[in-house]
Amino acid sequence: MRARAGFVAVGRGMSVCHACGALAPTKRSSCEVCQQPIGSSLEAIPARNDQLSFVQVRTQITCRQCGSGFPLDEPELEESVTCPRCNTTQAFDLDAWGDAFAHAHRTADVHGPRGESFRGSLGDRDPEPELGETTAISTLKLTGMSIDSGVMKTRNLTTQCAPGQPLCTKCGSPREPQELAGLRGAPELQMRCVGCSDVARYAIPSAARGLAPGLVGFVAEALRVDRPEARLDQTSAGLVIALKCPSCGGGLNVTPGSHVAVCSFCKTEARIASRTLLALKSVDGAPSPWWAIFRGDSPARAELTRRGSHDDDDDGPDIAGAAAMIMGGQDAQLQALLVMAESPGGQKSVSSAVAQKVKDVEDDQSPSDARKEWAIQLILPALMLVLVSPIFYRQILNWAGGGPSIAPSVAVPGGIGGAPLAAHENVPGRAITILLQHDGEMRPVCDDGFGIEEAQVACRQLGYQGATGYSTVTGNTDEFWLDDVVCNGNELRLDDCQHLDWGDDNCSSSETQAVTCF
């Protein structure tokens, strides 16, 4: 059987699902992305020689307020998002997209057609050896908050990536970029079908520049600029009235999750952005796939290559070279100590390098130089301890942040009003007030900035497996131990999270925080 335009015979390239274009694993009979049967396809995507990588992306944001997830079917690069379930508008950290794109670039570069020969040299250093065999999807889940100029921004972004190739929706042949300029000032990306020559044009958001090296553009229905954008009519209070055709003004019927609406009057195909679907509450819960295109090697490829060179070095760390780096300035010192500390016998290596430096300095130095070098001798061992001892590292950070040196807090479950609960009153599923015992005194936690990540940490500290929710109750005191708590979600205790100083709060008893655990 002869392969269609853009494809080659299977075995000469990467097999993809002919329904959605995602990687077709060799040990699966159906597509992991669209659930369509893969079958015994005789066509595959050939290896590329133009340095391009394609990756199918599906993204979802988890609301910090209600904990529900909602899809983003394009790289939504505005600095705020609104949850369609609870209508909460929350600031979003755009740097999370940079992390997501870096992960997508690695997935496409290492496990796509460009990485076929490279993967053969990885061996057990392959970050995801199951990709291409049992799975097509690599997932990156970001959680937590960041603070920018006093504004708390959520990073709750989940990204699922699958190598592949964008396919034409009309004939199923691959789409290829035309007039490729990437993000170097080009306002749009043109994709042409190699089979039927159909051309689709996609906007390149200006905010995407600089988020990830090698990023060329996106293929997403919500970014089609060859379709006019539907008009969203709203009241002066911001309430949505209707979605109107951009050509004739007629009402448009929206299919949940679809980014295209055809006007029943003038037959205009209108584009619907993800933000518009969220405003209409017309999302079906499952994110739709879109594509990101990258050029060149991903940073992860260089890192994997570096690891291979390091593993092949049987002589251990280069102590002489690292000691020379210690002489070269602060950045070089940090890098040298990190390299040696992470190596087998790292602590001994660092000690040897520092001892050698001290000896060299003592051989030839003036009195003023001696004083400077004695200061260096004190700083370098302290720096070594920071790098190789997690406990000491955490303590140093606590001092640097102005926090006191304290023993870990003890969490005690409380009932409404804040009174401690007896063991037999601890019923899973009920709201539990968080009481922290510190300096011999028991106080609650304030609800300022408290979300599902903080609830997960609190429930684990209380002895439960996790949290199902959180709520605000009225306690019996206006004195709190912790306020403005911000967690990533993987901490062991609430005092491991970012927070104001102990006892520093601006809360009243009606802002007492409670959690529901399981």
C-alpha span between 471 and 451 (Å, rounded): 9
Q: Classify residue 160 by burial, with Cβ atoms within 10 Å: 0-12, 13-18, 19+.
A: buried
pLDDT, position 149 = 78
pLDDT attached to residue 211: 83
- Residue 15 near residue 24, CB atoms below 8 Å: yes
Strand partners, 273: none
What is the three-state SS of 90-118? EEECCHHHHHHHHHHHHHHHHHCHHHHHH
Which pLDDT does position 163 carry in this prediction? 95
pLDDT of residue 175: 94
As separate numbers, helices (DSSP H) first and strands (DSSP E) second, the chain gives: 10, 25
Q: How far apart are CA 469 and CA 434, in angstroms?
A: 13
Cα–Cα distance for residue pair 446/434, rounded to 1 Å: 9
pLDDT for 213: 84
* Residue 169 burial (10 A CB sphere; 0-12, 13-18, 19+): exposed
Flag residues of the chain having pLDDT under 50: 314-351, 353-365, 388, 390-407, 422-424
User: What pLDDT score does 220 carry?
Assistant: 92
Q: What proportions of the chain, in percent to the nearest 5, are helix, strand and coil?
A: 25, 25, 45
Q: What is the pLDDT of residue 403?
A: 37
Identify the bridge partners of residue 329 per DSSP, sorted by sequence position: none
**pLDDT value for 396:** 42
Q: What is the pLDDT of residue 461?
A: 86
Instruction: Look at phi and psi of residue 148 and say left if phi exceeds 0, alpha if psi is from -120 to 50, else beta.
Output: beta
CA distance 269 to 259: 10
Q: What is the pLDDT of residue 97?
A: 93
pLDDT of residue 166: 95
Question: How much is the pLDDT for 40?
Answer: 57
Give me the pLDDT at residue 77, please.
Answer: 86
Nearest-angstrom CA–CA distance, 63 and 139: 19
